[in-house]
A and B are shown apart, each in its own frame.
Chain A
Amino acid sequence: MTGLLFLLPVALLLGGLGLAAFLWSLHSGQYDDMDGAAERILVDDD
């Protein structure tokens, strides 16, 4: 049972991290141009 005290916060923290990362990526406009991002990876910038 003591394992729970330790595992539960860890599980919630990891889930929360995922959620925070998603909200951050949304906010920083990473989904604004999905097609463009797919093409830009192939462009050589030099």
Chain B
Amino acid sequence: MNCCGPNADAALSLPSAAARGPSREELALSSRTLPGGMRQTDLSVPGVHCGACMTNIEAALGRLDGVDHARVNLSTKRVSVRWRENAGAPDIAEALGRLGYESHLFEQGADDKDETLAELIRGLGIAGFAAGNIMLLSVSVWSGATDATRDLFHWISALIALPALAYAGRIFFRSAWGALRNGRTNMDVPISIGILLAYSMSLYDTANSGPHAYFDASASLLFFLLIGRTLDHVMRERARVAVKGLARLAARGATVLNPDGSSAYLPVSDIKPGTHILLSAGERVPVDARVLKGRSELDCAIVSGESDPVAVETGAALRAGTLNLTGPLTIEATAAAQDSFLAEMMRLMEAAESGRGGYRRIADRAAALYAPILHLTAFLTFIGWMVAAGNWHQAITIAIAVLIITCPCALGLAVPIVQVAAARRLFENGIMVKDGSAMERLAEVDTVVFDKTGTLTLGMPRLVNAGEVSPEALALAAAIGLHSRHPISRALAEIPGEKPAKEWAFDAVEEIPGFGLEARSGTDTYRLGRAAWALPVANGATGTVLSKNGTRLAEFIFEDRLRAGAMAAVSALRDKGLAIEIVSGDRPDAVASVAAALGIDQFSSGVLPNGKVARLEALKAERRKVMMVGDGLNDAPALAAAHVSMAPASAADIGRSAADFVFLRESLSAIPLALATSSEASRLIRQNLILAIVYNAVAVPIALLGYVTPLVAALAMSGSSVIVIANGLRLGTGKTRSPRPAAGQGQPFSTKEAMAS
């Protein structure tokens, strides 16, 4: 068990802004109170992936002051820590950071135990128990038990089936009742009617010592259908948990300066307009605000789509959600949290979401057609036999046989089993699917709309002229760059394979917001930053310069880079005949150069959030089915408005929760892969529906003529279910390797602009 380089599982390449993890104040704010003066904090730690990580973390956290108990859950990649209240919040995030793990807080509240799943699994257990035992008794009856023995077996079956129906069946009865009350019909209506009628008819027969009883059919029907229901639920839940484990990009609280000079850490919801807030470098702006004091640069990529940091000074207006990069600021809140930019996006999203409500899932559409036909056939059978033979008992028995044999067992399994197999394949490739309907919608898409910053590009500068700079200068720049959060400094500090060769011991490193970094070592002064500032005479040099006592050591050129696989993904989509478009909030020239690099003709720039929604509405009016791919806060309404949407793991929280698909890896090859898997899944679903129809075409005439005994019904039902499941699982076995370009091969494109502060 020495597999562990933390984060070796590069699946989660999150923006480094979140790398620091939640502060102690945030931890305290989000913890739960337990009896006995204890508090519990739950953290998501995506880097945990083996037994060694588990023991390391548990041991390290257990040693912290005040920590009573720490336990890692490897399946959900979470750590829950119990600590004593009187000792204050332990610095869990820092301890995890020292071990090399990122940690994030996730939304509390909605996170309690999954009651629905527990109910489904309990129902499954009970239905399975009942089906198994009744089947044993039924087999004895079919093998020739007669008279009193047969009646005894039937009675016992009835006894076992009753609680199973009452407990496991209510999941279906509830949904069927809900549909009927609203004047609709869904798949659960024929299921419920079939099960209940079969049970009561069999009870009547048993009381009259009849030869046939359908207790086994009703119990095993429940069992099979519950399998489908449970799989469907598990799939959705897994995606939800995985997405929730990602970093929160909204501030949870802020350090508030009271008029008397003291400061306190308050939750965002308690901040009122006029409150003074201390915002240190690396924090996100909690609410819309104005700068009172200080000078810094803000990363607005996730809010507006602008790729370059924006310099702010006293008086500048800040929007909630932007990240303070370089200097501490004192700001004054201008709006409460519920009136801030973030909340405005939420409202836009709710308004936009109605567009998707019209979609009905394939299974429901099939049920809407199938259920009336089913009821009609059973009813006509009853009438027909009444007229022909005049024996109401016989007529009802045959009508029930028709209901049972046609009961949409295969349908109930056909769709979820395929979608679960497809979701599993996507999951293995780092793509989370919210639910089955998303996959059905994705298969219909004919237009793809991309956001630029953070989606097509990484939104982070990379050094492009590393070859022209001496290794020593590069190491020096990296050592200085370590001291700042500015994207350029981070890019320098993270140059792969160029770790600082020797420890540079600086006496002092100072960040001058808007200009760069100044480091002092003995009598030497190094400056890393804007050319005009680092050099006494900026003789033609632009961009970022490293200088020693005013003499130029090196000049660095940075470019934003396309996400890995962007080129391949776009051309794969184009080959499939999809229309592609960029809608970005960034400057026209930046958008144009990305569009040119990718060969996309349709693009618009400087688009506001409601402009994005308007563009999607326009496409919808042209009867296009649009997939939106975006990451920012400003994309969230558009993500909600699109027919189907996709977001990278680095997206803003509300964008991630609005998107149907979230891909965890950096590469955009996730998009063609998801598309291919979805269309394959929809092909298999259609096959399964056809199989179910063929089965009915064969079985219904036999049932109509009254040849279906309980034995035949049991065989036919299990047979059709097994065929449908086997067909659905073909998706999981065929390991189609989709195009996966070599990781990390982002293509630079040509905006030769130096991204100095």
Query: Taking beta carbons and an 8 Å cutoff, which residues of A are in contact with B?
Result: 1, 4, 8, 11-12, 15-16, 18-19, 22-23, 26, 32-36, 39-40, 42-43
Question: B132 is contacted by which of A15, A32, A33, A43 (Cβ under 8 Å)?
Answer: A15
> From A32, which residue of chain B is reached at the shortest CB distance?
B73
CB–CB A18/B129 < 8 A: yes
CB–CB B118/A34 < 8 A: no
CB–CB B125/A36 < 8 A: no
Measured CB to CB, the closest approach of chain B to A33, in angstroms, equals 4
CB–CB A1/B149 < 8 A: yes
Query: B55 to chain A: which residues have CB within 8 Å?
Result: 43
> From B1, which residue of chain A is reached at the shortest CB distance?
A42
Residue B121 is within 8 A (CB to CB) of chain A in the complex: yes
Residue B469 is within 8 A (CB to CB) of chain A in the complex: no
CB–CB A33/B129 < 8 A: no
CB–CB A15/B133 < 8 A: yes
Q: Mark B160-175, 1 if CB is under 8 A from A, else 0.
A: 1000000000000000
CB–CB B54/A43 < 8 A: yes
CB–CB A26/B125 < 8 A: yes
CA–CA, A41 and B156, complex, Å: 43
CB–CB A33/B76 < 8 A: yes
Measured CB to CB, the closest approach of chain A to B11, in angstroms, equals 15
Residue B75 is within 8 A (CB to CB) of chain A in the complex: yes
The 3 closest A-B pairs by CB, nearest first: A39-B51, A36-B74, A35-B74
Question: A26 is contacted by which of B72, B73, B122 (Cβ under 8 Å)?
Answer: B122
Q: Name the interface residues of B39-94: CB closer than 8 Å to any CB of A.
A: 50-51, 54-55, 72-76
Query: A36 to chain B: which residues have CB within 8 Å?
Result: 54, 72-75
> From A22, which residue of chain B is reached at the shortest CB distance?
B125
Question: B121 is contacted by which of A16, A26, A33, A43 (Cβ under 8 Å)?
Answer: A26
Measured CB to CB, the closest approach of chain B to A26, in angstroms, equals 6
CB–CB B149/A39 < 8 A: no
User: In the complex where A15-B132, A39-B50, A43-B55 touch, is A33 in contact with B75 (Cβ < 8 A)?
Assistant: yes
Measured CB to CB, the closest approach of chain A to B78, in angstroms, equals 9
Known A-B contacts: A32-B75, A33-B76. Give 16 more (CB < 8 A): A4-B149, A12-B156, A15-B129, A19-B125, A19-B129, A26-B118, A26-B122, A26-B125, A32-B73, A33-B73, A34-B75, A35-B74, A35-B75, A39-B54, A43-B54, A43-B55
Residue B152 is within 8 A (CB to CB) of chain A in the complex: yes
CB–CB B121/A39 < 8 A: no
CA–CA, A12 and B160, complex, Å: 9
Measured CB to CB, the closest approach of chain A to B60, in angstroms, equals 15
CA–CA, A23 and B74, complex, Å: 23
CA–CA, A28 and B73, complex, Å: 15
> From A18, which residue of chain B is reached at the shortest CB distance?
B129
Query: A4 to chain B: which residues have CB within 8 Å?
Result: 149, 152
CA–CA, A22 and B121, complex, Å: 10
Query: B122 to chain A: which residues have CB within 8 Å?
Result: 23, 26
CB–CB A40/B149 < 8 A: no
Residue B476 is within 8 A (CB to CB) of chain A in the complex: no
Measured CB to CB, the closest approach of chain B to A23, in angstroms, equals 6
CB–CB A40/B54 < 8 A: yes
CB–CB B133/A11 < 8 A: yes
Residue B126 is within 8 A (CB to CB) of chain A in the complex: yes
CA–CA, A13 and B129, complex, Å: 11
Residue B136 is within 8 A (CB to CB) of chain A in the complex: yes
CA–CA, A26 and B51, complex, Å: 23
Query: B74 to chain A: which residues have CB within 8 Å?
Result: 33, 35-36, 39
CA–CA, A34 and B75, complex, Å: 6
Query: A19 to chain B: which residues have CB within 8 Å?
Result: 125-126, 129
CB–CB A8/B156 < 8 A: yes
CA–CA, A11 and B50, complex, Å: 42
CA–CA, A46 and B469, complex, Å: 53
Measured CB to CB, the closest approach of chain B to A5, in angstroms, equals 9
| 23 A-B contact pairs sorted by A residue (CB < 8 Å) | A1-B149, A4-B149, A12-B156, A12-B160, A18-B129, A19-B125, A19-B126, A19-B129, A22-B125, A23-B122, A26-B121, A32-B73, A32-B75, A33-B73, A33-B74, A33-B75, A34-B75, A36-B73, A36-B75, A39-B50, A40-B51, A43-B54, A43-B55
